[in-house]
Amino acid sequence: MEIRVNGKLRSVPDDGGTPLLWVLRDTLKLTGTKFGCGIAQCGACTVLVDGQPIRSCITPVESVGTSPVTTIEGLSGREADAIRAAWTSIDVPQCGYCQSGQIVSATALLSGVRNPDDPEIDSAMAGNICRCGTYSRIRAAIKSAAASLSTPA
Amino acid sequence: MTTGEIDRRGLFKGVGAALVIGFALPVRGAAALAAAEPFAPNAFIRISPTGITIVSKHLEMGQGIETGLAMVVAEELDANWTRIKVAAAPVNPQHYANPVMHDQGTGGSNSMMGSYAELRDAGAAARAMIVQAAALQWDVPAAEIGIERGVVRHVASGKKARLETFAQAAGAIPAPSKPVPKAASDFRLVGQNVHRLDTPGKIRGATIFTADFDLPNMVRAVVRRPPRFGARVGSFDAAAALATPGVLQVVQIPTGIAVVARTHWAALQGRESLQIAWDDRDAEQRGSEELDVAFRALAQRPGSVARAQGDIASALAAAPTTITAEYGAPYLAHAMMEPLNCVVRREDRSCELWYGCQFPGGDRRHVAAALNLPPDRVTIHTLPAGGSFGRRGSFTADFVVEAVEIAKALPPGIPVSVQWTREDDITGGCYRPMSRHRLDAAVDADGRLRGWRHRIVVQSIAETIPIPGLVKNGIDPISIRNAIDPPYDLPDMALELHSPKVGVTVMPWRSVGSSYNVFAMECFVDLIARRTKQDPLALRRLMLPAKSRFHALLAVVAERSGWHRPRPADRALGLAISTWAGSYVAHVAEVRRIGEGYRVERFTTAVDCGRVINPNLVSAQIEGGIMFGLSAALSGEITLDKGVPEQSNFDSYKVLRITDVPLVDLHLTPSEEPPSGVGEIAVSAVAPAVANALAALLGLPVNDLPLKGFLT
Ligand code: FES
Ligand code: FES
């Protein structure tokens, strides 16, 4: 089977029913995408498929076809840069284990909504658990990234 | 017993031998660095011409300790902060013991407290040696040499060079016997909002956690453990599991049945097909309701006396008013984001492990015992951990020894990565114990509190710790934390403890005994205030000794929360205070009624944690501690049905999400006192602050955690 990950077509030997998460992690060694629950409850495994955030732990690899998959390792562009810059200046991560998923979700949010308000942030980020409790900083960093994107470079 | 043995040689053919030597591991350990680094003035500093490495004896599990420790050393060295790297220490309790634990380990919020003086000395010693080396090389008096941001300078001669240039030469200078750390007034880094060193890796998915750690020919394993605590494998049938594609081996180990496979997914699939009959003869079969009834009954009877001062019995008998209340707190799972895991590679006479190791000293002894090896044949490479909250600091090294048991069944040299699922984690025990509290207060005619009797019913954690003498006269010191020394003046006071035996395994959980005792005590103080018609803040001020460090904190939170200002009828404030690891906290929670439910809108928090090394990191710990405490207060609960945990993943074990997060107004008190703990201080007073606010809002007693009954 072939999947398109971070711009490259990759051939994978896994069974089609294998969740995308384990193909990324075990087969392709893209370990930035994390396992946190396996049942679409925590968001640690979030990746983009066709630019949309999905939970890779419940997504059979065969269902993805050759749609472009973007993981934290391949996440780039203006929104991703702004998010990472804000994450750095606000020092969002603590243990960091949830942060790949947080950053993928936040980048997808900013790609769709230029200046998200609190309810928009809530609904985009409610699926991403952080047990270290970095939520206030995540919210602040999304707003700061959004502000930086609306300032002409 | 091993099933699938016949296939073993074939399955592993050709992999064993290739592993033994010949590949370089990405080892973060300092041991590996030491050989290549010319200047190693002490156990904590390695300087080479290309950079400076600080050796951290504490596990980085999110608290930012690696950054904090490095700041203290860099400060004394006058190093250029951008050239600082951190490496995890190897196991060496002689060099890296935690002074509070008398062994190598991270926990109890004491990392900075225990390392501050030691690292200042280490940095000051290295600096003096570098200055001396420069003085010899430049032939100028050492007293005329300065170091600023990593540049060594002699002003009169105009000579300057980077600090690292002297690495080689400094190695020949004897270490000063009494290094002289800087005056605090000369600090440039300490006290500043320095960015974390680990952020770059964490925002790119590049940080290698245990789950991500890979070795050539590594196999993956998961374990099916019994649903009930204390149960054992009766019999099992591994045929279907072994027929699962990718499954290599099925192994019975003391904790259950392990499925070893080429990939984690294959191991999980194999585990699904295991047929196991559990032997429940020694298992805990009681449910939460039965335990609750038993605990409530115990709370009515005198327990072992942990403290008795004055005469509370007479005070209660004589008091014109007595106030009695009971409180309860449930079992809680740690549910750190990265479920437990451990990578092991066993050779015939040695063993290497890679994981987020919180107790290197104890873990190494347990591994050595399991393998019948001397401890120095066991090497632990500490990796950053995706949270812990206490769970990785296992006194029995349960998850580490289990991984070693699996490795024992594999051919030598085959590395195995053992991964727990979230269900394994939530149902796996090692919980914060459930507790029951009864408090009886004696109140004078003028409404002044004479004292109280506090009776705690909680399972002992200390009796699971293999240190003799920890439990004395039936008193587990962990069970009574904070209840033994309330911050208040209580002329008559008694503390009694019941430590019932329950089969459910228990462990420290961020803030440990404080997490339930402070809930009971701080709710009780508010109850006394309501019954005696006093303001809860004024009552606390009255009860606190004049010298208490709490007075300053109470003044701050009163002012910033608008405690004395009128507020709408749909809002109420609740106050609670606590101590931990030398630090002090006061929280005011503001709750707002929404229909039949409520929302926690805001926390106003003041913390006195001595000198603040990095306000940014300390704030993150306090914010995180509030969220952790709030998560537990609002919805955290493990319940048992006939001994089987009823929650198994984040769909049933609810945790705080971004939608529930209150505003936090945090104030750190400036202080010249030595730094004290920040990892746990915020946690325990969160639940009583919210409960007190709710009680005020609803006019109802709020005595049991979690508070979800009010959330409808
Ligand atoms: S691992 Fe996929 S949502 Fe938790
Ligand atoms: S940073 Fe640790 S779980 Fe989010």
Interface test with A, best of B65, B219, B220, B337 (most A CBs within 10 A): B337
Of residues B263, B421, B616, nearest to A38 (C-beta): B421
Q: Do B238 and B222 form a contact (C-beta atoms < 8 A)?
A: no
Residue B62 Cα to ligand 2 midpoint, Å, equals 7
Please tell me the total count of domains within chain A: 2
Distance from CA of A66 to the nearest CA of B (A): 22
**Residues A84, B212: C-beta atoms closer than 8 Å:** no
The model's pLDDT over B88-146, given as tens digits with 9 standing for 90+, comes to 999 999 999 998 888 999 999 999 999 999 999 999 999 999 999 999 999 999 999 99
Q: Is the pLDDT of residue B611 over 80?
A: yes
> Strand order in B151-154's β-sheet?
B145-148, B151-154, B159-162
Of residues A41, A84, A133, nearest to B623 (C-beta): A133
**Residues A31, B61: C-beta atoms closer than 8 Å:** no
Residues B544, B514 share a domain: yes
User: Quick one: pLDDT band at residue B14, thresholds 50, 70, 90?
Assistant: very low
Residues of B in contact with A95 (CB under 8 A): 61-62, 336-338, 384-387
Residue A133 Cα to ligand 2 midpoint, Å, equals 7
Helices (H), B78-218: 93-96, 111-138, 167-170, 199-202
Q: What is the pLDDT of residue B465?
A: 84
Of residues B198, B339, B389, nearest to A96 (C-beta): B198
Q: Which of B527, B524, B433 is nearest to B480 (CA)?
A: B433
Residues of B in contact with A88 (CB under 8 A): 195, 199-200, 203
Q: What is the pLDDT of residue B701?
A: 87
Residue A39 Cα to ligand 2 midpoint, Å, equals 18
Residues A18, A37 share a domain: yes
Measured from the Cβ of residue B712, the count of other Cβ atoms closer than 10 Å reads: 8
**Residues B387, A95: C-beta atoms closer than 8 Å:** yes
Residues of A in contact with B207 (CB under 8 A): 96
Residues B463, B319 share a domain: yes
User: Quick one: pLDDT band at residue B36, thresholds 50, 70, 90?
Assistant: low
**Residues A94, B620: C-beta atoms closer than 8 Å:** yes
**Residues A32, B211: C-beta atoms closer than 8 Å:** no
Question: HSE of A78 in the Cβ direction (CA atoms, 13 Å)?
Answer: 12
* Ligand 2-lining residues (CB < 6 angstroms): A 93-99, 130-132, 134; B 62, 337, 387
Q: Is the pLDDT of residue B618 over 80?
A: yes
* Secondary structure (3-state) at B14: coil
Q: What is the pLDDT of residue B477?
A: 95
- Which among B399, B419, B439 is the end of a domain? B419
**Residues B202, A93: C-beta atoms closer than 8 Å:** yes
Residue-number span of the structural domain to which A17 is assigned? 2-71
Rounded to whole angstroms, the Cα distance separating B356 from B381 reads: 8
**Residues B620, A134: C-beta atoms closer than 8 Å:** yes
Average pLDDT over residues A122-146: 98
Q: Do B225 and B398 form a contact (C-beta atoms < 8 A)?
A: no
Of residues B206, B265, B384, nearest to A19 (C-beta): B265
Q: What is the pLDDT of residue B709?
A: 62
The model's pLDDT over A105-117, given as tens digits with 9 standing for 90+, comes to 999 999 999 999 9
Residues A138, A86 share a domain: yes
Q: What is the pLDDT of residue B711?
A: 55
Of residues B265, B386, B664, nearest to A97 (C-beta): B386
- Which among A71, A103, A131 is the end of a domain? A71
Q: Considering only alpha carbons, which residue of chain A is nearest residue B219?
A: A26
Of residues B205, B616, B627, nearest to A33 (C-beta): B205
Q: Is the pLDDT of residue B6 over 50?
A: no
Residues A141, A84 share a domain: yes
Query: Which residues, including other chains, have CB under 8 Å from residue A101's CB and lie 6 or more apart?
Result: A33, A34, A36, A42, A43, A44, A45, A46, A128
Residue B9 zone, left/alpha/beta (φ > 0; ψ -120 to 50; rest): alpha
Rounded to whole angstroms, the Cα distance separating B618 from B675 reads: 11
- The question of ipTM being above 0.85 is answered as yes
Residues of A in contact with B619 (CB under 8 A): none
Contact status of B26 with chain A (Cβ, < 8 Å)? no
Contact status of B205 with chain A (Cβ, < 8 Å)? yes
Residue B421 Cα to ligand 1 midpoint, Å, equals 11
Q: Do the domain assignments include residue B134?
A: yes
A92 CA closest ligand 2 atom index = 1
Is any atom of ligand 1 closer than 6 Å to the C-beta of A43? yes
- Which among B379, B398, B419 is the end of a domain? B419
Q: Considering only alpha carbons, which residue of chain B is nearest residue A57?
A: B265
Strand partners, B580: B583
In which element (H, E) is residue A135 found? helix A135-150
Residues A119, A90 share a domain: yes
User: Quick one: pLDDT band at residue B31, thresholds 50, 70, 90?
Assistant: very low
Residues A87, A134 share a domain: yes
Domain of B459: which CATH number?
3.30.365.10
Rounded to whole angstroms, the Cα distance separating B597 from B572 reads: 13
- Which among A71, A95, A124 is the end of a domain? A71
Residue A98 Cα to ligand 1 midpoint, Å, equals 10
Q: Do the domain assignments include residue B499?
A: yes
Strand partners, B152: B147, B161
Q: Which residue carries 């769970």 as its tokens?
A: B391
Residues B226, B155 share a domain: no
Please tell me the total count of domains within chain B: 3
- Count contacts between A and B (CB, < 8 Å): 173
**Which residue from A20, A37, A100, A104 has its CB within 8 A of the most atoms of ligand 1, so it is best to mutate?**
A37
The model's pLDDT over A24-35, given as tens digits with 9 standing for 90+, comes to 999 999 999 999
Residues B50, B107 share a domain: yes
Residues B321, B239 share a domain: no
Rounded to the nearest angstrom, the gap between the alpha carbon of residue B234 and the centroid of all alpha carbons in its chain is 35
Residues A137, A90 share a domain: yes
Residues of A in contact with B625 (CB under 8 A): 133
Q: What is the pLDDT of residue A153?
A: 55
pTM of the full structure: 0.95
Q: Which of B193, B198, B190 is nearest to B675 (CA)?
A: B190
Residues A145, A101 share a domain: yes
**Residues A131, B625: C-beta atoms closer than 8 Å:** no
Residues of B in contact with A89 (CB under 8 A): 195
- Which among A34, A49, A71 is the end of a domain? A71
**Residues A96, B335: C-beta atoms closer than 8 Å:** no
DSSP B675: P
Q: Do the domain assignments include residue B21?
A: no
Average pLDDT over residues B157-168: 95
Q: Do B268 and B221 form a contact (C-beta atoms < 8 A)?
A: no
- Residue type for position B560: R
Residues A90, A108 share a domain: yes
Range of lowest pLDDT (A19-33, B366-380, B453-467, B698-712): B698-712
The model's pLDDT over B204-260, given as tens digits with 9 standing for 90+, comes to 999 999 999 999 999 999 999 999 999 999 999 999 999 999 999 999 999 999 999
A127 CA closest ligand 1 atom index = 3
A35 CA closest ligand 1 atom index = 1
Q: What is the pLDDT of residue B446?
A: 83
Q: Do the domain assignments include residue B66?
A: yes
Q: Is the pLDDT of residue B712 over 50?
A: no
Domain of A109: which CATH number?
1.10.150.120
Residues A30, A13 share a domain: yes
Domain of A38: which CATH number?
3.10.20.30
Residues A140, A92 share a domain: yes
Residues B218, B181 share a domain: no
Measured from the Cβ of residue B382, the count of other Cβ atoms closer than 10 Å reads: 27
Rounded to whole angstroms, the Cα distance separating A20 from A1 reads: 12
**Residues B263, A122: C-beta atoms closer than 8 Å:** no
Rounded to whole angstroms, the Cα distance separating B557 from A16 reads: 57
Average pLDDT over residues B505-524: 97
Is any atom of ligand 1 closer than 6 Å to the C-beta of A76? no
Residues A10, A45 share a domain: yes
Of residues A15, A29, A135, nearest to B661 (C-beta): A135
Contact status of B195 with chain A (Cβ, < 8 Å)? yes
Residues of A in contact with B271 (CB under 8 A): none
Q: Considering only alpha carbons, which residue of chain B is nearest residue A95?
A: B62
The model's pLDDT over B307-337, given as tens digits with 9 standing for 90+, comes to 999 999 999 999 999 999 999 999 999 999 9
- Which among B362, B395, B419 is the end of a domain? B419
Residues B216, B325 share a domain: no
Q: Do the domain assignments include residue B22?
A: no
Of residues A39, A87, A100, nearest to B651 (C-beta): A39
Residues B553, B455 share a domain: yes
Q: What is the pLDDT of residue B481?
A: 97
Interface test with A, best of B203, B334, B343, B616 (most A CBs within 10 A): B203
Look at the alpha carbons of B132, B136, B142, B144 in this order and tell me if their dihedral is positive or negative.
negative
**Residues B624, A134: C-beta atoms closer than 8 Å:** yes
Q: Which of B665, B413, B673 is nearest to B562 (CA)?
A: B665
A132 CA closest ligand 2 atom index = 2
Residues of A in contact with B205 (CB under 8 A): 30-33, 71-73, 100
* Secondary structure (3-state) at B282: coil
Residues B295, B239 share a domain: no
Residues B547, B614 share a domain: yes
Q: What is the mean pLDDT of chain B?
A: 93
pLDDT-above-90 percentage for chain B: 90
User: Quick one: pLDDT band at residue B87, thresholds 50, 70, 90?
Assistant: very high
pLDDT-above-70 percentage for chain A: 99
Average pLDDT over residues B354-380: 97
Q: Do the domain assignments include residue B274?
A: yes
Residue-number span of the structural domain to which B98 is assigned? 36-192
- Residue type for position B329: A
pLDDT-above-70 percentage for chain B: 94
Q: Do the domain assignments include residue B703?
A: no
Residue B423 Cα to ligand 1 midpoint, Å, equals 12
Residue B412 Cα to ligand 2 midpoint, Å, equals 35
pLDDT-above-90 percentage for chain A: 97
Burial class (CB in 10 A: 0-12, 13-18, 19+), B2: middle
- Each as own residue / partner, the long-range contacts of residues B544-552 (CB below 8 Å, 24 or more positions apart, any chain) are B544/B487, B544/B488, B544/B489, B545/B487, B545/B489, B548/B487, B549/B584, B549/B608, B550/B487, B550/B577, B550/B584, B550/B586, B552/B606, B552/B608, B552/B669
**Residues A133, B624: C-beta atoms closer than 8 Å:** yes
Range of lowest pLDDT (A53-67, A86-100, B694-708): B694-708
Residues A63, A86 share a domain: no
The model's pLDDT over B406-464, given as tens digits with 9 standing for 90+, comes to 999 999 999 999 999 999 999 999 999 999 999 999 998 888 899 999 999 999 999 98
Give the pair of three-digit tokens for residue B616. 């940014």
Q: Do B100 and B170 form a contact (C-beta atoms < 8 A)?
A: no
Average pLDDT over residues B346-370: 97
